[in-house]
Amino acid sequence: MDPKHRQILQRNRYNLVTALNPAEICNGLLSKGVFTQDMIDEIQSKITRRDRARQLVINLETRGSQAFPVFLECLRETGQHDLAELLQCGDGARLPPPVPIQPSLIPLPVQNPKYTEKPDRPDFTPSRLEPLRPERLPVPNPLSPSSETQVVRPTRPRRDSIQCYKMDASPCGICLIINNVDFDPDCDLKDRKGSDIDCDKMEKRFKALNFEVIAKRNLKYKRIRHEMASLAKRDHSAYDCCVVIILSHGTEANHNRFPGAVHGVDGPAVPVQLITNYLNGQNCPSLQSKPKLFFIQACGGGEKDTGFEVSPDEVEPSMGGIDDQMDAIPISSSSDSLSTSDELDARATLPTPSDILVSYSTFPGYVSWRDTQAGSWYVENLDRVLEENAATDDLGTMLMKVNDAVSQISAKGLYKQMPGSFNFLRKLLYFQSSRS
């Protein structure tokens, strides 16, 4: 799209989100070749009209040079002449406010933290809030010679407090594993030997963490979306968490929050952004305020990292396997684009991406390495760190340990890998202790 037209859309984002009727215009944009069916499906998956209008504009900004004039034509064909004239003139004046539309979502209560200039004076009074009382340790009786001092170690809180997510349901939640191994010869993607080893490790690990594990193998593009949609439609009310693990080839993709895309065995790639959208608080109400965790073992792009020299005291180098392979192909694009000019649509809710963490096996843009005999570096170390530390450490701390371990491995004595995560969790997350 011409940058001038994109700026007009961005300047008038508020007017479009407020007044546009997406239902009337989608068919025209599809028939005229501006949108694909996948884009229409993505728009229609949104719950409210405002969200559908916003997604339509986001998708429109990613299209070609004819997208803007065709959009104006479709507006006029559907009787939305005021919007068409507004965009035609490039004027940023706002339209008269339309009749309010009652949102279909039930707002979530949000507590606004109170701040004070003096940190040593808490912002509450004893009459309104009961102060926290620390647990007392047993005190030995000096008059009793038989008494012995017992050391009581504080237990990790399992309740849903300001510090930690509630994680004591049984089972704790559903863990979906998508394991793509055998790819169609026509899509020029190699089979992912060693991925079954990763799948077995993750299945056993999350069963030990008290998750109900569902493993799917060799899913095509549409099947990946179907499985995610089915997971979103399930009732998660009795669970405390949801986990999705994807083992596949990957590539770069345009995005506005979570980078990358993962390939179905037939070739087309599903953006990670779209995968996470299925389970956000808007599209899956029964997972609202509960942690949604995504672990992605796939390449973030095609660039190889050769690292840089450091002091020998700073790292403990480790060599990769004898048959390391990559999970990468060149860049692709998705329907999500970065836009910074959207005006706020205020409601008393939590942000849509809240309570989501996406952990990537590699930094965006770079390849991810997998040993055909031992599995991927990332999954191998993730499994080990969870086994050794899940009973004591929170997830964020454990992922840093995974990052450190993987960063010290070298493929073919030359190439490096750096995992990372996009963390939108609001509290600490402790898994249930592993069960033998």
pLDDT in tens, the chain (436 residues): 888 898 898 888 888 988 999 888 998 999 888 998 888 888 888 888 988 898 999 889 888 889 999 999 999 999 998 898 889 886 444 444 444 444 445 555 555 544 444 444 334 333 443 444 444 444 444 444 444 444 444 445 444 555 899 999 999 999 999 999 999 999 889 999 889 999 999 999 999 999 999 999 999 999 999 999 999 999 999 999 999 999 999 988 876 788 889 999 999 999 999 999 999 988 999 999 999 999 999 874 444 444 444 444 444 545 555 455 555 443 333 333 333 333 434 333 445 578 999 999 987 666 676 677 778 889 999 999 999 999 999 999 999 999 999 888 866 556 778 898 999 999 999 999 754 4
pTM for the predicted model, two decimal places: 0.57
| Active-site annotation, residues | 249, 299
How far apart (Å, rounded) are the C-alpha atoms in residues 297 and 195?
A: 9
For residue 262, give both structure tokens: 């993962």
Q: How far apart are CA 289 and CA 294, in angstroms?
A: 16
User: H or E element: which one contains 207?
Assistant: helix 195-208
Name the strand (E) or helix (H) holding 401. Answer: helix 395-407
Contacts of 391-399 with CB under 8 Å at 24 or more apart are: 391/433, 391/434, 393/430, 394/164, 394/428, 394/429, 394/430, 395/293, 395/357, 395/425, 395/428, 395/429, 395/430, 395/431, 396/423, 396/425, 396/428, 396/429, 399/359
Q: Are 320 and 369 contacting, i.e. CB atoms less than 8 angstroms apart?
A: yes
As a whole number of angstroms, the distance between CA 359 and CA 292 comes to 11
Place of tokens 């939640």: 173
